[in-house]
Amino acid sequence: MKYRIAVAAALFPVVAWAWPWSTDMMDQPSIKPQEGEMAPFPKRSIPLRTDRVDSDMLLTEVANRDEAKPLTSPIPVTPEVLAKGKTLFRIYCGACHGQTGKADSPVSSKIGAIPLVDDYVQKTLTEGWIYGTITFGSYIMPAYGKPTARDDGRGSDDLSVEERWQVVNYVRHQLVKDAAAEPTKTAAAQ
């Protein structure tokens, strides 16, 4: 019986190719990664994070990024806050802006991510504007605080108010120093 199957497969390779083992999971009707626009989360989904913070000063409600512009960080800059901000930055921001904020990640040039260590971000943009961009997103950047405020519903509720301010503090008070020290670490590793 095995001999007959082998002979049939040799004589009819097209038939043998059509067996189930030739089906590739990539060739199926599904949405591929990074294909199309990100769909909004279903209405029935439950957010993993909330903006519950003990301090009332952190709960400043703003409706959009422009309203956030005059805000300043209510969280004092401490080594612990900067360490938390650095960790969050590397998790959420590093993929697009680079781990050192220099926009040197593989996708930075493809999506137009700006370098966060440049004078434009460090000296021109306010802390509130950076906070508002993290909260509401921008043209290409998803919202990490209030995705429901966007018309397209794109984004997530991943960062609490306190965590967003920690990232702002890190970007403003430590990112440039870490980026300047990075080549030294790379040279020391070689």
Per the CB < 8 A criterion, the answer to whether 116 and 157 are in contact is: no
Q: Is residue 176 part of a domain?
A: yes
Selected residue with higher pLDDT from 28 and 151: 151
Residue 56 has pLDDT above 50, yes or no: no
Whether residue 25 lies inside any domain: the answer is no
Q: Residue 118, exposed/middle/buried by CB under 10 A (0-12, 13-18, 19+)? A: middle
Is 42 part of a structural domain of the chain? no
Question: Are the C-beta atoms of residues 113 and 103 closer than 8 Å to each other?
Answer: yes
User: 0.75 cut: is pTM over it?
Assistant: no
pLDDT, tens digit (0-9, with 9 covering 90-100), for 154-169: 777 788 889 999 999 9
For residue 155, the enclosing domain spans 64-183
pLDDT at 15 over 80: no
CATH of the domain at 136: 1.10.760.10
Render pLDDT for 94-150 as a digit per residue (tens, 0 to 9): 999 999 999 999 999 888 899 999 999 999 999 999 999 999 888 888 888 877 777
**Binning pLDDT at 50, 70 and 90, where does residue 53 land?**
very low
